[in-house]
Structure 1
Amino acid sequence: MTTDTTTKDTAPDATTPDRTVLDARGVTMRFGGLTAVRGVDLTVRSGEIVGLIGPNGAGKTTFFNCLTGLYVPTEGEVRYKGTLLPPKSFKVTAAGIARTFQNIRLFSNMTVLENVLVGRHTRTKEGFWSAVLRGPGFHKAENASRARAMELLEFVGLAPKAEHLARNLPYGEQRKLEIARALASEPGLLLLDEPTAGMNPQETRATEELVFAIRDMGIAVLVIEHDMRFIFNLCDRVAVLVQGEKLIEGDSATVQGDDRVIAAYLGEPFEGAPGDEEAAEVHAAEAHAAPPAQAPTEAPAPAPTEAPADTPTEAEPGKENDR
């Protein structure tokens, strides 16, 4: 038995121009009475970098979780290269979609090389008995996986630290290691969730160059980020989520010039904002359910009348001796 070490450069149709890699249609995710994502459509084509932005709480990471099988969408469907994705994260990875996380999730007590080898498991065909018997096929597959892992560490600039523990890497290099581990599954689509969070300008620029290099390998990229300069320099298209709905999608110039996007980031209301219709329905329901106002049962007190002219009144303060 052997290991599938096919890279994306040789994978069939990996670099076919304008081929739709990801097709998400009407993705909706509800948690009880809360709708976190509502009817989002998004496509990503091969060799393309697409950005997903929006204010905090807009539903970006929830949408990522729906794409990668961590959540099963309440409504809608997600297709990868025309095939409907199963609602299991490990099957989504095997299909060709890999991701990183907003909070780094490395195996801190494993070496840098071992972390990348973990990402190879979906491309390894060795079974239980092969691992137990450790025959020639097992050693061949293991050597192939190590060679590929070292190639990826060289690609992200971490080859000299292959035997270091992951927890001992600086923050920026941990981010690179997570990307290398994702690439080890040989994806056709890579999802990056805030890859430059907490980085200084030099590290951000290095990450930008790394993402361009990944794109040049023929891998499509979908990235969430709050650094607008990074997003607009990097992406071919940008989609904006606001309150779980897609507000606009287009090139960087189109999105930057849209007044609704600016208003959404500033927290200012605007006509037709996502959630307005739902809020109006809630207010209408509350008004319909409120009990009608009841008429007063007691007669109103009579209005005071002016005292007759010859009726003595209380003297104003300080004028007690003027009577």
Structure 2
Amino acid sequence: MKRYLLKRLGGLVVVVLLVLSISFVIVRLAPGDPAALMLGPDATPADAAALRERLGLDRSIPEQYFSYMGRAITGDLGDSLYFNRPVISVLAERAEPTAILALLSLAIALVIALPIGIWSAYRRGTVFDQLSIATAMLAASIPSFWTGLMFQRFFATDLGWFPAAGYGGPGASFLDRVGYLLLPSIVLGIVNSALILRFTRASMLDVLGEDYIRTARSKGMSEARVVLRHALKNAAIPVITVIGLTFAMLVSGAVVTERVFNIPGMGNLVVSAVERRDYPVIQGTLVVVATLYILINLAVDLIYLLVDKRVRY
């Protein structure tokens, strides 16, 4: 087990270094001068040259690369060109709304997908089963921004049940902020529940036809115990995998929803950073997202040990 963890952590270091290198190259291939964008159209060429020198953008690409990698290895991702503050502090400010949004969305997706997926597999071929599959396909095919706009118009503007956008004022309490995130969480939960529902149904169908399920029924066990204790436990590994992948996608891929609902999260931040050519923020966000992906995958692998004692690393 220790050897396995060391190998995974070693792989994490390698992936982070690769992401740092790739992001460094990609963001510098983008057109536009960040110094000119920061100073605005009224800036003179001398002002832009002075800012490039202060930011180190006048140096050669290899010099910028080795300087950046040397700082990144020590945990310094540089300073934001726009906020003029360390990238770590900028990302830390935007991490809370994104994390809460991802957790709420995942919880809503699980509440929708798991019961429907289990019951749909148990009642295979019925009208409920066909409707659940069709609804899941519909939820997966509709763009999240369209769903967000429709929900925003109907539930927030027309009915007034939820705040339309934002994350509350500076003095807002935690519960107030959760209230602002509830409607976008419902949107993301509905969209992402489709994949979990389909995997749950497919995995349960594979297990419900096994011999040990028929043996459990022949012993007189109740259907609830057979389905929930025996079938669901043995079908959990693929479901846990897709739940972990869904959570990783929610953390890194809620950009459109954050923009629609004007949530000051990491997704909104990285879009603004691309528009401003804020290289350090773009690179820092990519590194953080890549690290989260690997850590979430590692956590999923460790959860396998709790669910199925036969799993060994």
Higher strand fraction: Structure 1 or Structure 2? 1
Length-normalised TM-score, structure 2: 0.23
Question: What's the TM-score, normalizing by structure 1?
Answer: 0.22
User: Which gives a bigger RCO, structure 1 or 2 (Cα 8 Å, sep 6+)?
Assistant: 2
Greater radius of gyration (CA): 1
Hey, which of these two has a bigger chunk of helix by percent? Answer: 2
